[in-house]
């Protein structure tokens, strides 16, 4: 293959795309590499200046920073510092923050990509909650609660999760030898996916 053709496949380096923040309606505006984590300064792409009560245009009031644990890059915890604008309605005086629901659930400490990484780490890679919490640089309870809620939403509460399943395998194995903790998985052997775990 000619060198010119190989070069044509490359695009300009883009940290927003590399970190998959475009999926979350965020754009990277800066980065800071610390010894134990990477911090990405971000802003929300979609404007949100119209009042949700009366529909009048709002005036930018100030900016607050929302910190979100994101999927680790190279096993280094990655933190998003999202600049969220606050607006005041020029009509009714109502104050609101820019919508960040594409980036994370309200009051969540994990981005949607961080949450997806945590669930895949537990179900597919069989990482412990302790290791997941370390990878995200959050407390054990934060990681555990988030993974349980997302697992329930994506895996357990999905009424179609057994559609197309032809063969089920059940496996029980020791997770931690010292405490004799056991884990049982029900797997869809046709698609090699975990259907339930406990």
Could you report the per-residue pLDDT of 17-36, keeping only the tens digit for each? 999 999 999 999 999 999 99
Residues 174 and 151 in one domain: no
The whole-angstrom separation of Cα 26 and Cα 78 is 15
Tokens standing for residue 175: 């997770």
Residues 142 and 195 in one domain: no
Residues 143 and 198 in one domain: no
Print the domain residue range for 34: 3-158
Residues 105 and 145 in one domain: yes
pLDDT at residue 156 is higher than 70: yes
What is the pLDDT, as a whole number, of residue 157? 81
Percent of all residues in the chain with a pLDDT value above 90, rounded to a whole number? 56
What is the pLDDT, as a whole number, of residue 94? 92
Percent of all residues in the chain with a pLDDT value above 70, rounded to a whole number? 80
Helices marked H in the chain: 3-8, 15-18, 112-123, 129-136, 140-151
What sign does the CA torsion over 51, 29, 115, 107 have? Answer: negative
The order of strands in the sheet holding 193-197 is 168-176, 181-188, 193-197
pLDDT at residue 139 is higher than 90: yes
Do 36 and 27 contact (CB within 8 A), yes or no?
A: no
| pTM of this structure | 0.76
Residues 94 and 171 in one domain: no
The whole-angstrom separation of Cα 15 and Cα 137 is 21
Tokens standing for residue 56: 């009048």
Which tens digit of pLDDT belongs to each residue from 86-137? 999 988 989 999 999 999 999 999 999 999 999 999 888 888 999 999 999 9
What is the pLDDT, as a whole number, of residue 123? 83
Residues 33 and 78 in one domain: yes
């Amino acid at each position: 293959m000619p060198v010119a053709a190989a070069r044509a496949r490359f695009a300009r380096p883009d940290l927003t795309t590399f970190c998959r923040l475009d999926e979350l309606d965020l754009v990277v505006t800066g980065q800071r590499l610390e010894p134990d984590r990477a911090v990405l300064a971000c802003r929300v792409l979609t404007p949100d200046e119209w009042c949700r009560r009366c529909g009048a245009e709002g005036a930018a009031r100030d900016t607050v920073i929302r910190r979100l644990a994101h999927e680790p890059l190279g096993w280094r915890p990655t933190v998003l510092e999202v600049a969220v604008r606050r607006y005041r309605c020029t009509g009714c005086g109502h104050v609101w923050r820019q919508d960040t629901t594409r980036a994370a659930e309200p009051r969540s400490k994990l981005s949607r990509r961080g949450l997806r990484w945590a669930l895949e780490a537990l179900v597919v890679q069989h990482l412990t909650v302790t290791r997941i919490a370390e990878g995200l640089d959050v407390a054990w309870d934060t990681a555990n609660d988030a993974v349980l809620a997302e697992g329930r939403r994506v895996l357990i509460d999905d009424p179609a999760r057994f559609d197309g399943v032809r063969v089920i395998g059940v496996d029980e194995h020791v997770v931690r030898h010292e405490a004799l903790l056991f884990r049982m998985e029900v797997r869809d052997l046709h698609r090699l996916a975990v259907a339930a775990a406990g």
